A = this chain, B = another copy of it.
Amino acid sequence: MPKIDLANIPLKTGSNYPAPYAIEMAGRSSQRLGDAAGLTQFGVNITILAPGSRSSLRHWHENQDEFVIVIEGDLTLVDDTGDTPLGPGDCAAFPAGDANGHHIVNKSQSEGRFLVVGTRTETEVGHNSDIDMMVEFKDGAANFTRRDGSPLPVADQ
């Protein structure tokens, strides 16, 4: 049955960001629709943002196209040009290699949700815009480093 049973796709919470950044993702959860439906060439997630939460640290991808459409709520796209309101039906696209770091923030008092599509590639490099961090994805693992490739400082516990 091609229709996706959204009610039965588990909510994923948490973050693979290293400390102290993982905690900044509190309030974000997501459903992995594409994986559940057997898609392999691009990922399709619904991201749910509680008031005050954000989709990710501000970042851009070297190799993967990314696309979002807002389903519900009053959200804010933050990129190098500043803040752009995004409401239901609004769409945004982030071509691979465009070094315009972006994320989506819920500055409203109500929950918001958007659908995000991203190409699946064997390897990928992501760059963070507001902190000295980058990430290489390879063999299913994410390796976070400083921008010069050196290890991140150990966070206070």
A interface residues with partner B (beta carbon < 8 Å): 1-4, 6, 33-34, 37-42, 44, 64-65, 67, 69, 71, 77, 79, 81, 84, 86, 89-96, 98, 100, 102, 115, 117, 119
Contacts and interface: CB of A to CB of B under 8 A. Distances in A.
Contacts of A69: 69, 71, 115
A37 B3 contact: no
- State how many copies of this chain the complex holds: 2
A110 to B, nearest CB: 16
A3 B100 CA distance: 12
18 contacts: A1-B81, A2-B77, A2-B102, A3-B86, A3-B92, A4-B92, A6-B91, A34-B65, A34-B67, A38-B98, A39-B67, A40-B96, A41-B96, A42-B117, A42-B119, A44-B91, A44-B117, A71-B89
A89 B40 CA distance: 22
Given A6-B91, A39-B95, A44-B91, 16 more contacts: A1-B84, A2-B77, A2-B79, A3-B84, A3-B92, A33-B93, A37-B92, A40-B96, A41-B64, A42-B117, A42-B119, A44-B93, A67-B117, A69-B71, A69-B115, A117-B117
